[in-house]
Amino acid sequence: MLNQRGNGTSHSAPVRVVVDAMGGDYAPHEIVQGAVQALDRGNVAIALVGDQGPVEAELARYNVAGKPIKVVPSVGKIGDDEHPVQAMRQKRQASIVVATQVLKSGAADALVSLGSTGASMACATMLLGLMEGLERPCIGGPFLGLAPRTVLVDLGSNVDCRPSLLLSFAALGSVFARKFLNIENPRIGLLSVGAEDAKGNRQVQESLRLFRESHLNFVGNVEGNDFFADRADVVVCDGFVGNILLKYTEGLGSALLPYLQKQLAHLLPPQVVQRIGNEVWQMTNLPRTMGGPLFGVNGTVVVGHGSSKAAGVAGAIGTAMRCVEIGLVEGMRQELAALAKGAGAGQQPHPRGG
Amino acid sequence: MLNQRGNGTSHSAPVRVVVDAMGGDYAPHEIVQGAVQALDRGNVAIALVGDQGPVEAELARYNVAGKPIKVVPSVGKIGDDEHPVQAMRQKRQASIVVATQVLKSGAADALVSLGSTGASMACATMLLGLMEGLERPCIGGPFLGLAPRTVLVDLGSNVDCRPSLLLSFAALGSVFARKFLNIENPRIGLLSVGAEDAKGNRQVQESLRLFRESHLNFVGNVEGNDFFADRADVVVCDGFVGNILLKYTEGLGSALLPYLQKQLAHLLPPQVVQRIGNEVWQMTNLPRTMGGPLFGVNGTVVVGHGSSKAAGVAGAIGTAMRCVEIGLVEGMRQELAALAKGAGAGQQPHPRGG
């Protein structure tokens, strides 16, 4: 299968990932450490974009002589508290802007950022461009360890989505489920407050007809408990609901952890309590371990949770590598084109060559 | 303090609760059993409304001679799959219709139903009437054992709510938090995708100003993870989001339970595993243990989860008794009147007599 590198490189060539070393709560320390971990794990070449002095100082802590990792200098960063588009225009040397330009230039196959999601989305949208037929990008992926093969889209914060946008999210999520999770003909569900067609808000009601008329494998409305009942492979909702669910799940897991640890502390050895605790945390914090790709931009961009530590950074780099290897971006472009034509590309057999 | 019975009965008189014995997945068996459990626990007199033969047969299984429990005959029930208002008009002898009439007549102080929430709301709205200044009733209460003093409203399914309706929900939730949970001057939060005023969908943006201008103790936007961070006592959202969160939480707890039990099975004695499992289930299924009152109707109506078993039925009856004892309905009426006047009744000292 053709990959995103587009120049016919063989499978022995490493995937080139550019990493925003300044983004995230623990940047650049944990970002650099995570990048070094990723180097040891897979066939990857990494460019760390950031303030040269601090990033080189971090990198000097590791023995990377001869390994494919380098620093690309940038100046400053865009914070979570800044207006993404304004900041991007004012800080043209900021790490996420420079990193996105590296991806755009073709010098990298994928970009990973743990910084402001808004800034990553703005840079990707403005510099790489949106896929044809799409009005906004979104973020999707599995978000719950208890349902690791269920994709939720939009996890970002596209609020007040029109039905046509929700349908685009569904198409993009379907490609992700098919290519990333190897699910044939993914079942699409629309998140609502009842399984019947009559249940739901105006947005859901108006979307239903569009979903039914599309070529997608639409299974109807799904409810909050259906995430655990394997009723759909891709659950579609407005980013308002998706973001609330995502943060709620993280909070729930984080609150459950100390509770369980306290319950188990006097019953089990500390290392067993720790292991169970870690598993429960992972179940409710999946995006922190693997990041999530932006859907709908012309390039492979994976955004991770700002609170990610090295393992989460390495996980996001791994996600980016896999997105490149499976040709996710090209698959999404084809699916949106099929959607625009009202045709059934998603139902056609796809080449699954090596 | 005056109670809802309004006839000056002393505290030694039992609270009179009418129970829809036909509503719920396990009716009438578990409903009758739960009612008998409630009899043994508190100072309550119970009227079971349902098909006479089956309900009397269930009741005959218990030794209730001389106890204040009786059967009020009705014919049939309204199911979850029926249109509530139409069904209510066609089935005038259905259990929920008759039970609501018993409450309206003054022969009971409170009503408990585990049946169709839509039918309970329709009967309460049409027969008891809405409080002045309100366009729709809602359901609120704590919904999460990990945050048992945080009220979420609307847990029902009032979708597409206007800002003024959300403000009413906030006022009603505030009264519940103050009277039922004894929280002074409850903090109200509006559920959104970021703490800043600029974050949120159009509904939240438009509601913010109304909330700020009200006499309520509004603390701004809260996020999904804030349920676990004690940032607000009452979290307000559209019933679309509330219902998804409620069902999601139930599903998550139910999925976590077998996972934990499997993890712990070979490490701990079965009864300890069972106890921890029960606690985790309760943490995520609080409404199934206590039901939730309808907010905004002229009477005490507690609806419980359809899948409730006897313990949940007894819990819902207990909730109904407490709502009567604290004068919840009258408190809510006063609060809505204050809201209409733009005055600060919620801030005034309230008599807290015994």
Interface contact B245-A259, CB threshold 8 A: no
Q: Which of residues 118-147 of A touch B (CB under 8 A)?
A: 144, 146-147
DSSP state string for A218-244: EEEEE-GGGGGTT--SEEE--HHHHHH
Residue B352: is its pLDDT beyond 80?
no
- pLDDT of A343 reads 52
Most confident of the following: A308-312, B81-85, B337-341? A308-312
Q: Report whether CATH 3.90.1200.10 matches the domain B138-288.
A: no
Q: How far apart are CA B276 and CA B285, in angstroms?
A: 14
Q: Nearest by CB to A256, which of B146, B245, B272?
A: B146
- pLDDT of A72 reads 98
> Of A350 and B131, which is predicted with more confidence?
B131
Interface contact B224-A201, CB threshold 8 A: no
Q: Which residues pair with B140 in a beta bridge?
A: B153
B225 close to B193: Cβ distance less than 8 angstroms: no
Mutate to test the interface with A, among B201, B236, B257 (most CBs of A within 10 A): B201
Pairing of strands B188-191, B234-236: parallel
Question: Cα–Cα–Cα angle for B155, B161, B166, nearest 5°?
Answer: 70
Q: How far apart are CA B48 and CA A304, in angstroms?
A: 55
Mean pLDDT of chain A: 90
Mean pLDDT across B216-233: 95
- pLDDT of B77 reads 97
Interface contact A267-B272, CB threshold 8 A: yes
Among residues B330, B297, B325, B313, which one has the least CA distance to residue B120? B297
Q: How far apart are CA B242 and CA B154, in angstroms?
A: 6
The answer to which of B15-19, B101-105, B176-180, B251-255 has the lowest mean pLDDT is B251-255
Residue with tokens 């309905």: B329
- Phi and psi (nearest 5°) for A68? -80, 70
Measured between beta carbons, the chain A residues lying within 8 angstroms of B144 are 252
Measured between beta carbons, the chain B residues lying within 8 angstroms of A193 are 157, 159, 239-240, 243-244
- pLDDT of A280 reads 82
Q: Which residues pair with B188 in a beta bridge?
A: B218, B234
**Domain covering A135-288 in this structure, CATH number:** 3.40.718.10
Interface contact A251-B224, CB threshold 8 A: yes
Q: What is the dihedral of CA A182, A188, A193, A198, to 10 degrees?
A: -160
User: Could you tell me the strand order of the sheet in which A151-153 lies?
Assistant: A69-73, A44-50, A15-20, A110-113, A300-303, A292-295, A138-142, A151-153, A234-236, A188-191, A218-222
* pLDDT digit string, tens, across residues A273-323: 888 888 888 788 777 788 899 999 999 999 998 989 999 999 999 999 999
Confidence category of residue B279, pLDDT binned at 50, 70, 90:
confident
- pLDDT of B257 reads 84
* pLDDT digit string, tens, across residues B89-125: 999 999 999 999 999 999 999 999 999 999 999 999 9
H-helix or E-strand spanning residue B252: helix B239-265
pTM for the structure as a whole: 0.89
Confidence category of residue A263, pLDDT binned at 50, 70, 90:
confident
A223 touches chain B (CB under 8 A): yes
* pLDDT digit string, tens, across residues A239-254: 999 999 999 998 988 8
**Domain covering B1-134+296-326+349-354 in this structure, CATH number:** 3.40.718.10
Residue with tokens 């249109």: B83
Task: Name the residue ranges covered by the structural domains of chain A.
Answer: 10-132+296-326+349-354, 135-288
Confidence category of residue A198, pLDDT binned at 50, 70, 90:
confident
H-helix or E-strand spanning residue B166: helix B163-180
CA atoms lying within 13 Å on the CB side of residue B274? 3
- pLDDT of A354 reads 32
B285 close to B291: Cβ distance less than 8 angstroms: no
Asked whether the CA dihedral B235, B239, B240, B244 is positive or negative, the reply is positive
Among residues A332, A284, A275, A325, which one has the least CA distance to residue A130? A332
Residue B88: is its pLDDT beyond 80?
yes
Q: Nearest by CB to A240, which of B193, B259, B276?
A: B193
User: Could you tell me where the beta strands, DSSP code E, fall in B74-148?
Assistant: 110-113, 138-142
Q: Nearest by CB to B251, which of A160, A191, A224?
A: A224
Residue with tokens 């998550």: B252
A105 touches chain B (CB under 8 A): no
- pLDDT of B229 reads 92
Mutate to test the interface with B, among A225, A250, A262, A264 (most CBs of B within 10 A): A225
Interface contact A251-B229, CB threshold 8 A: yes
| Most distant CA pair in chain B, distance | 63
Interface contact B254-A194, CB threshold 8 A: no
Instruction: Mention every residue, 6+ apart, whose C-beta is less than 8 A from residue B16.
Output: B5, B44, B45, B46, B47, B107, B108, B109, B110
Mean pLDDT across B278-303: 88
Interface contact A228-B251, CB threshold 8 A: yes
Among residues A3, A30, A104, which one has the least CA distance to residue A304? A30
Interface contact A256-B157, CB threshold 8 A: no
Residue B351: is its pLDDT beyond 60?
no
A99 close to A49: Cβ distance less than 8 angstroms: yes
Mean pLDDT of chain B: 90
> Of B156 and A297, which is predicted with more confidence?
A297
Among residues B84, B243, B252, which one has the least CA distance to residue B161? B243
Measured between beta carbons, the chain B residues lying within 8 angstroms of A245 are 224, 244-245, 248
- pLDDT of A302 reads 97
Q: Hey, what are B30's tokens?
A: 């578990």
Pairing of strands B218-222, B188-191: parallel
* pLDDT digit string, tens, across residues B47-79: 999 999 999 999 999 999 999 999 999 999 999
Q: Which pairs count as long-range contacts for B253-257, CB under 8 Å and 24+ apart, including other chains?
A: B253/B280, B253/B281, B253/B283, B253/B284, B253/B285, B254/A225, B254/A228, B254/B281, B254/B284, B254/B285, B255/A146, B255/A147, B255/A228, B256/A146, B256/A256, B256/A280, B256/A283, B256/B280, B256/B284, B257/B281
* pLDDT digit string, tens, across residues A27-71: 999 999 999 999 999 999 999 999 999 999 999 999 999 999 999
The answer to which of A42-46, A81-85, A182-186, B109-113 has the lowest mean pLDDT is A81-85
Q: Which of residues 238-277 of B touch A (CB under 8 A)?
A: 238-241, 243-252, 254-256, 259-260, 263-264, 267-268, 272, 276
User: Could you tell me the strand order of the sheet in which B44-50 lies?
Assistant: B69-73, B44-50, B15-20, B110-113, B300-303, B292-295, B138-142, B151-153, B234-236, B188-191, B218-222
Secondary structure of residue A81 in the 3-state scheme:
coil
B105 close to B18: Cβ distance less than 8 angstroms: no
A10-132+296-326+349-354 matches A135-288 in fold: yes
Interface contact B224-A247, CB threshold 8 A: yes
Pairing of strands B292-295, B138-142: antiparallel
> ipTM of this predicted complex?
0.88
Q: Nearest by CB to B276, which of A251, A254, A263?
A: A263
Query: Chains A, B: CB contacts under 8 A, how many?
Result: 138
The amino acid that residue A163 corresponds to is P
Distance from CA of A224 to the nearest CA of B (A): 4
Mean pLDDT across B119-138: 94
Mutate to test the interface with B, among A252, A262, A268, A283 (most CBs of B within 10 A): A252
Is cis: bond before B28, omega within 30 of 0?
Answer: yes
- pLDDT of A11 reads 55
Residue A6: is its pLDDT beyond 50?
no
Asked whether the CA dihedral A251, B279, A270, A41 is positive or negative, the reply is negative
Mean pLDDT across B185-196: 94
Alpha helices in chain A, H assignment, sequence order? 29-41, 52-59, 84-90, 95-105, 117-123, 163-180, 202-213, 239-265, 270-284, 286-290, 310-325, 328-341
Q: How far apart are CA B77 and CA B50, in angstroms?
A: 8
Percent of chain A past pLDDT 70, that is, above it, reads 94
Interface contact B227-A251, CB threshold 8 A: yes
Interface contact A225-B238, CB threshold 8 A: no
Measured between beta carbons, the chain A residues lying within 8 angstroms of B239 are 193
Residue with tokens 């790709």: A293
Q: Nearest by CB to B227, which of A202, A243, A248?
A: A248
- pLDDT of A5 reads 46
A212 close to A128: Cβ distance less than 8 angstroms: no
Residue A7: is its pLDDT beyond 60?
no
DSSP state string for A97-151: HHHHHHHHHTS-SEEEE-S-HHHHHHHIIIII-BPTT-SS-EEEEE--TTSTT-E
Percent of chain B past pLDDT 90, that is, above it, reads 72
Query: Distances from the Cα of B27 to the Cαs of A62, A68, B24, B69, B223, in angstroms?
Result: 66, 67, 5, 17, 38
Q: How far apart are CA A159 and CA B203, in angstroms?
A: 10
Confidence category of residue B133, pLDDT binned at 50, 70, 90:
confident
**Domain covering A10-132+296-326+349-354 in this structure, CATH number:** 3.40.718.10
Interface contact B193-A243, CB threshold 8 A: yes
- pLDDT of B301 reads 98
Instruction: Mention every residue, 6+ apart, whose C-beta is less than 8 A from residue A89.
Output: none
The answer to which of A6-20, A175-189, A203-217, B157-171 has the lowest mean pLDDT is A6-20
Q: How far apart are CA A96 and CA A17, in angstroms?
A: 13
